[in-house]
C-alpha cells in the first residue's frame, strides 16, 4: 500500500535533505492548548460511525450541527476507502470545521495514507458505492483515460489539482494541540530532522499540482502515514524513537491511528496513544474516542450496541 501502485519502500533522506530539528511547528501545524480535546481514529467510509463518534465526543447533535463550542476535535486520517460513505464524511467534516471555527473551537481532519493513495489513483480499497458517489465529477481531459468509466469521476476529484485534492491540501499531515502531537501513523526522529512543516508543504504542493510526486520520506514504509513502529500488534513499540521524537518537538505525548487495535490503548508509559479501533463496518470495532483535558487522558466509549 502506497501512494503509487508499488509496495512502500524504505527511504532514508540523503544528508543534504536533512534539516536540523525545528524549535517549534508553524501555526499551520499547531493550535494552542485547549480545555478539552477529543481525538477520533480511522473512519473508512462509514458515515454512521462518523456521526456516532462525533456525538460521543459532544461535537454534534442529532441533526449533525456543531454543539461543541470551544471543543477541539482531531480526526487522525483515513476517512475514506473501505465504505460507501467516504464522500459524505469528507463533506461533513469540511462543513463542521467551519462551524467549529465560528464557535471558537476547531475540527481538524488529518491526511492519512488512504487519502494520499486516492490522490495517486490507487483505488484498490474503494467500494462500488465509493466510485458512484463521485460520478457527478466531470472527467478531466489531461489524464486517467486508461481507467474504467466508472472510476473517472473519483479520479478527477482526487488526482492532483482536483477539487478533493485541493481540499486535502488544506488538511495537515500533523497537528500539535498544546503538548500533544497527532499524526496518522507516527512521527519518527528522521521526520523531525527532515522537517514536519517542510514535509507538509511538499505534500500540499503535490496535491495542488505544483510538484510531480510527494516527497519520498512520506511515501515510504516508515513514512509518517505508514509507520507502525509505535502500534504494531504483537511487537514492542519503539519507545526510544518515541522519546527522541517527543523531546525534539517538545511534546508530552503522541496520538496515532492507522493500525487497528481492539480498543484505544497506550504504550511507552502513556506517551503514545493508539486510537484506531476499526470502528467502521469494514472491521466492526467499537466506537471510541480519546479525550484530553490537561493532564487527564480518558477513553470515551459508546455503550449502545452496533446495529
User: Mind giving me the DSSP string for 2-53?
Assistant: -SSSSPPB-----GGGPPPPPSS--TTSEE---S-EEEE---TT-HHHHHHH
CA 201 to mean position of chain CA atoms = 16
225-263 as b/e: b if 16+ CB within 10 A: bbbbbbbeeeeebbeebbeebbebbebebbbbbbbbbee
Q: Where are the alpha helices (DSSP H) in 103-151?
A: 113-119, 128-132
C-alpha cell at 212: 510531480
Q: Could you give the residue numbers annotated as active site?
A: 114
Specify whether the CB–CB gap between 212 and 242 falls below 8 A.
no
Which are the contacts of 151, defined by CB distance < 8 A and separation ≥ 6?
Answer: 123, 126, 131, 144
Cα 244 to Cα 163: distance, rounded to the nearest angstrom? 38
User: Which residues, in sequence order, are bridge partners of residue 175?
Assistant: 182
All cell numbers assigned to 305: 450496541
Closest to 207 (Cα-Cα) out of 162, 173, 172, 175 = 162
Amino acid at each position: 500500500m502506497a501512494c503509487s501502485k508499488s509496495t512502500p519502500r524504505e527511504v532514508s533522506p540523503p544528508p543534504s535533505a536533512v534539516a536540523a530539528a525545528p524549535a517549534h511547528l508553524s501555526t499551520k501545524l499547531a493550535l494552542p492548548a485547549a480545555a478539552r480535546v477529543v481525538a477520533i481514529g480511522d473512519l473508512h467510509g462509514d458515515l454512521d460511525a462518523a456521526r456516532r463518534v462525533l456525538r460521543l465526543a459532544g461535537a454534534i447533535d442529532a441533526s449533525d450541527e456543531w454543539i461543541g463550542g470551544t471543543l477541539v476535535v482531531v480526526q487522525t486520517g483515513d476517512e475514506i476507502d473501505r465504505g460507501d460513505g467516504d464522500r459524505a464524511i469528507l463533506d461533513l467534516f469540511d462543513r463542521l470545521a467551519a462551524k467549529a471555527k465560528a464557535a471558537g473551537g476547531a475540527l481538524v481532519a488529518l491526511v492519512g495514507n488512504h487519502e494520499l493513495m486516492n490522490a495517486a489513483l490507487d483505488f484498490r480499497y474503494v467500494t462500488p458505492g465509493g466510485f458512484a458517489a463521485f460520478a457527478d465529477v466531470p472527467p478531466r481531459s489531461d489524464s486517467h483515460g486508461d481507467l474504467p468509466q466508472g472510476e473517472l469521476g473519483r479520479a478527477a476529484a482526487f488526482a492532483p489539482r482536483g477539487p478533493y485534492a485541493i481540499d486535502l491540501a488544506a488538511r495537515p499531515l500533523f497537528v500539535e494541540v498544546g503538548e500533544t502531537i497527532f499524526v496518522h501513523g507516527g512521527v519518527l526522529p528522521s521526520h523531525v530532522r527532515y522537517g514536519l512543516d517542510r514535509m507538509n508543504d511538499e505534500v500540499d504542493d503535490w496535491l495542488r499540482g505544483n510538484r510531480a510526486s510527494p516527497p519520498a520520506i512520506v511515501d515510504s514504509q516508515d513514512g509518517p502515514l505508514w509507520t507502525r513502529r509505535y502500534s504494531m500488534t504483537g511487537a514492542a513499540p519503539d519507545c526510544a524513537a518515541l522519546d527522541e521524537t517527543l523531546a525534539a518537538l517538545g511534546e508530552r505525548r503522541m496520538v496515532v491511528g492507522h493500525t487497528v487495535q481492539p480498543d484505544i490503548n497506550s504504550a511507552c508509559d502513556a506517551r503514545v496513544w493508539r486510537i484506531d479501533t476499526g470502528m467502521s463496518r469494514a472491521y466492526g470495532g467499537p466506537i471510541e474516542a480519546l479525550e484530553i483535558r490537561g493532564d487527564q487522558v480518558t477513553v470515551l466509549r459508546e455503550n449502545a450496541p452496533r446495529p
